[in-house]
Every structure is written in C-alpha cells, then in structure tokens.
A = this chain, B = another copy of it.
Amino acid sequence: MATLFTGIKQLLTFAGDAVPRAGEAMREIGLVKNAEVLVENGLIEAAGPRSVVSRHRLAKKARKVEVNGICLPGFVDSHTHAVFAEPRLKDFSMRAAGASYQEIKAAGGGILSSIGAVRRQSRRAMAEQLAARAAGFLACGTTTAEVKSGYGLSLESELKMLRAVREAQKLTPLEMLPTLLAAHSVPPEFSGDAAKYLAYVTAEILPKAAAEKLAVFADIFCEKGYFTPEQTTAYLKEAASLGLKPKVHSEQLSNYGGTRAGIAAGVLSADHADHVYAQDITAMREAGTIATLLPASNYYLGLTKYPPARELIAAGVPVALATDLNPGTCPCWNMQFVLSAACTHCGMTPEEAFCAATVNGAWALGIGDRVGSVVPGLQADLAFYKADDYRELCYYFGASQCSMTVKKGKIVHGGR
C-alpha cells in the first residue's frame, strides 16, 4: 500500500529539470510549500504541492502520515569512520587539561589506541556497536552513510572491520557503503616505512577486500609523514583496476598535492580540502571532482581556519558536506551540526549547505541517481523535522530537530 506524507510545511526536493548529475556544482533547493510526498514500494511515486499530489491515483487509498513540519531527502553522510571500538576519552581529558598531541601520544593515545582497541574487538561486538551508532544517524535524519575501515591496519583486522559493516547492515536500516582505508596510517609493525606498508596493503589487503566485495571504495591519507602524492596515485589506480572506486583524504593538514594525485587516479571526491590552493581548485573543477568538506572536525580540534567553501563554490566545484565521525578528531554523527558549522564558519548559505549534505553527498558516493533528492522514481529516503522553515536546521545547533526518518519508504525513527 502506498503511503502519503501530508501536512508538509516546506519540502526541499533538489529536483530540477532532471535527476541531478554528478559533477554539477550547487543545485537549486526546489522549495515546495504545503507539500505532500507519495511513496510506494520503497520509491518516491510523487512529490510536490498538495494540490497536485493529492490528485494522484494512489493518493486516495494511501495510508496517511500527518507531518506538521518540514521534509528533506535523508542526509547522505559521505565520509565517516563509524567503526571504532572505543571513544578516546582519556585523550579528550588530557587535551582539555592542556596536554599536547605529543604528550597524548606518549601516554598511548591517538590513533595507536584505536588500532589496539579495534584489533582486540570481536567482529560481532563491532557490528553490534556500529548498528547502535547507526540508530544515532537515523535519529538525526541521515539515511545513507559511507563507513571506512582504517583502524586495523593489518590484513585480518582491516577485513574484520569491513565484514563488521556487512554484518551490521543486517541489523540496521541505515544504508552503509564500506570503504577500505587500510592506507590510513603506517602501523607500528612497519616502523615508519610507508612504502613497505603500502606494498603490503596492495599485495595482501586490497585484492582480498576486492575479491570478497567487502568495499565499494578505496581511500588513502595523502599527507606529509603518511603517504605521498605518487604513492596515492599508484595505489588508487591499482584499487580502481580491482573495481574499488577511489577516494582521497587530501590537503587536510597542509597543501601536499593529494587532491591532484587523487584526480590523476579518477577520485569521485577529494575530502577535507582545508589547505587547497588555486591549482587544486582548478583541477577539481576541470575533472568534476567533488570537494567533501568536514567542518565539524575543525570545530572539535579548536581550529580557527575552516575549509574554503566560498572559493570552491565560486570556482564551480561541487561541494559536499559530511560529518567525518571518528574518535580522534570528530565525535559527531549529526549532519545538522555540520550544516551549522558550514553556515557559521565556512560562509555557506543554508541552501548550499543543504545541497551539499544531500544531493552532492550522494554523488560523492556515486549514487545520486538513487538517493539524495526527492524525485519520482528515486528511493524514498526522507527525513522530517519539527520546524516552520528549513533554515532553522542550520540556524539552531547542538541538538537534533529530526522528528521522523523514512528509509526505502519505511518509518525507521520517530513518527508517533
């Protein structure tokens, strides 16, 4: 039976003349007031003004869900490290008390503590924990999330992380797209030899992950002291040849060349972009590469510099926003906070921020023809908020305003 979501004060469809395409810059929001959305078989059957949708042949007999708020496509969070065994509370306390990163590291903190915890955790426990976190995403209006490995850094533990994502997928309606991020950092066993570790990843981890179809994407951290631009291009090309779509962590801590190295391998998105220069921006525009900005991590790190959203948008680069949920630099899973940070600290308008968190997030995962906008024929992934005006979601901050979330046509959060 069809379901009719009615009483929607404002609906943002992001539907232009056609389904949005990858590589488009920022799209019009497609605001409809006094709207309805009709859903059948998990897909959007019709969406638009009440006067139009209510005349649809399926509308009369449809189950009616009264909304009294606003409706958006479910957020597509295209960059998360949502599998991590433990929050880094000790590091957090040390940092609040004034400890430096070096002191925290010397006390056994930082990524090393996450590596240890992930290696110790069972796959089952990992999957259950991820499913519990997924409930937090759904409660905040996110219906699709990318999830990276990258805290195992050994064949066994990297595959365990990816298998845990697959296992968790059976426990939660949140749609998760797994990414192999074995090239996140060089583990202690390789004592700083990045080339040797990357050769191991390429020979051992990448082919197994590809053969078992455990990941949709391959990602690498291109940064001084981690992996070089040359290593980045070669590794991502190898990953692409095995069917994993390339992604890159680039220009996060410095301008190091990761963006262009990623583009040379055909990345869907270049993520972070805090320190992009003009030549990186030009390269992204020319390649149609999406710049995925993660401003919640800048907030958490207490940085005063935020990613240069205005320069990117002015140049015509498609910008996506994501949480970067991770235990070290961004313990946040609410995309509404990311909207706030983008408008408050990156100079993005609410309209740009919403587009970046939905359509462009979907295209950063290559699935914008399936999710990320409210267009007939697309998946019925919707989120509803207690608000009168969509801008309230960027304006109020620090708590979720989401009252109901719908995934593939089913109510998976709230709704009573």
Contacts and interface: CB of A to CB of B under 8 A. Distances in A.
A43 interface: no
A392 interface: yes
Interface in A294-322: 296, 299-300, 302, 304, 310
Contacts of A343: 92, 96
Interface string A397-416: 11110000000000000000
A391 interface: yes
A333 B395 CA distance: 12
Interface stretch (A63-71, A249-257, A346-354): A346-354
Contacts of A310: 98
Given A93-B350, A304-B304, A395 B345 contact: no
Contact of A344 (B139, B140, B300): B300
B397 A400 contact: no
Nearest to A98: B347
A336 interface: yes
Contacts of A347: 96-98
Q: Which of A92, A304, A332 has the most CB of B within 10 A?
A: A92
A392 B332 CA distance: 11
B302 A392 contact: no
Contacts of A338: 398
Given A299-B344, A302-B345, A344-B299, A89 B392 contact: yes
Contact of A87 (B88, B89, B96, B392): B392
Interface string A329-371: 0011110111000011101111000000000000000000000
A136 interface: yes
Interface string A124-153: 000000000000100110000000000000
Contacts of A344: 96, 299-300, 302
A398 B399 CA distance: 6
A22 B80 CA distance: 44
Interface residues of A, number: 41
Interface string A364-405: 000000000000000000000000010110111111100000
A302 B400 CA distance: 21
A399 B89 contact: no
A87 B136 contact: no
Contacts of A304: 304
A277 to B, nearest CB: 22
B334 A395 contact: no
A92 B343 CA distance: 8
A115 B181 CA distance: 53
Contacts of A296: 397-398
A368 to B, nearest CB: 24
24 contacts: A87-B396, A88-B395, A92-B350, A92-B391, A93-B349, A96-B343, A96-B347, A136-B399, A139-B399, A299-B299, A299-B344, A300-B344, A300-B397, A302-B345, A331-B395, A331-B396, A332-B398, A332-B399, A333-B396, A333-B399, A334-B398, A336-B399, A337-B397, A399-B399
